[in-house]
Structure 1
């Protein structure tokens, strides 16, 4: 068994959790059928491993769309995933900190999990399904020109609106994490 495979028992457990979440939240994926999603997952076991990583870190992944014969999963936890908070934006930001370094950074964590950090447009689309991050915030992919100047972007939902902010990429807070996306 390779590192990025689940045991049969864990696989079945995860598929049941995903199926239950899918069926309880049909407003996120109207017109899609679980059997078709599961068939894609059965054919792409490495993606199932990534979904398990999303689940284990508190992301509560769910299908939010279908595009070019791929199902799109986003983290749908009410708040930024607990197991992915208190991280700065990327490795360069982490290395730039002289004191009080966080344990990890969002970009490297996402890469290790086999997922992508949401882009601002994806974050806004997620908020159209229901409202997330009413108490937390989420790092989003940052354009290179902003990142080159030391900044990074994050979003949250307050006062009935999605807000996009900037911060130094090296900053980290207990209420800021990141949400991921995965195409299967």
Structure 2
């Protein structure tokens, strides 16, 4: 695996990898039209090809198991919104605490990373609670896992962090110490392109 410095400095996806990712994204887009009704793939692809740095971030989402897909379009900015749409919290982003402060506060059994730092390294944002609820309107996600969500500063200052899941056909929001981590908890990201 590349070290953090290499990953931050080299955000160019080779042409062959870009084409391979575009093919995967197109197949997923076409299989899940209810997530993006009224959006045309050709327009999405043109936007992606004009923003190669976003392709790198989408590839990071894909490589960590996020299965990114288009979930919306912002007319005012012309941006497409991608969310991680994997059925469960992305496998390659689990077993992480909430943020760097939480990671550094652990004296023993530290996780390998934090959700906030991983998202930053990938060039994406952690879903907010509102975005998480929007995602759940498009399908049933996190039926066996859970995902950290962006935590309000007032809660974080007190040592807590929020996570969500879906059980009993209902989306639940919970709290935990920000330093906690579990094998079934990761995070979902969003990316504007």
- Tell me the TM-score normalised to structure 1 length: 0.99
Q: Which of structure 1's runs of 4+ aligned residues deviate more than 3 A?
A: none
- Secondary structure of 1:121's partner? helix
Query: What is the aligned counterpart of 1:14 among 4, 15, 21?
Result: 21
Q: Residue by residue, what CA displacement relative to the aligned partner does 1:39-96 show, whole Å, maximum 9, x if unpaired? A: 0001100000000000000000000000131000000000000000000000000000
State how far apart, in whole Å, the 2-side matches of 1:171 and 1:40 are: 38
State how far apart, in whole Å, the 1-side matches of 2:25 and 2:163 are: 27
- Secondary structure of 1:156's partner? strand
Query: What is the aligned counterpart of 2:129 among 120, 123, 129?
Result: 120
How many angstroms does 1:115 deviate by? 0.2
How many angstroms does 1:20 deviate by? 0.3
- Secondary structure of 1:52's partner? helix
* Aligned ranges 1:84-123 → 2 under 5 Å: 84-123=93-132
How many angstroms does 1:105 deviate by? 0.2
**What's the counterpart of residue 47 of structure 1?**
54
State how far apart, in whole Å, the 1-side matches of 2:137 and 2:13 are: 33
- Secondary structure of 2:137's partner? helix
How many angstroms does 1:6 deviate by? 0.9
**What's the counterpart of residue 157 of structure 2?**
148
Query: What is the aligned counterpart of 1:66 among 69, 73, 79?
Result: 73
State how far apart, in whole Å, the 1-side matches of 2:63 and 2:168 are: 30
List gaps (5 residues or longer) in structure 1: none
How many angstroms does 1:145 deviate by? 0.4
**1:175 and 2:184 matched:** yes
**1:34 and 2:61 matched:** no
Q: CA RMSD in A?
A: 0.6
- Equivalenced residues, count: 183
State how far apart, in whole Å, the 2-side matches of 1:5 and 1:20 are: 23
State how far apart, in whole Å, the 1-side matches of 2:133 and 2:140 are: 10
* Aligned ranges 1:126-165 → 2 under 5 Å: 126-165=135-174
**What's the counterpart of residue 77 of structure 1?**
86
- Secondary structure of 2:174's partner? strand
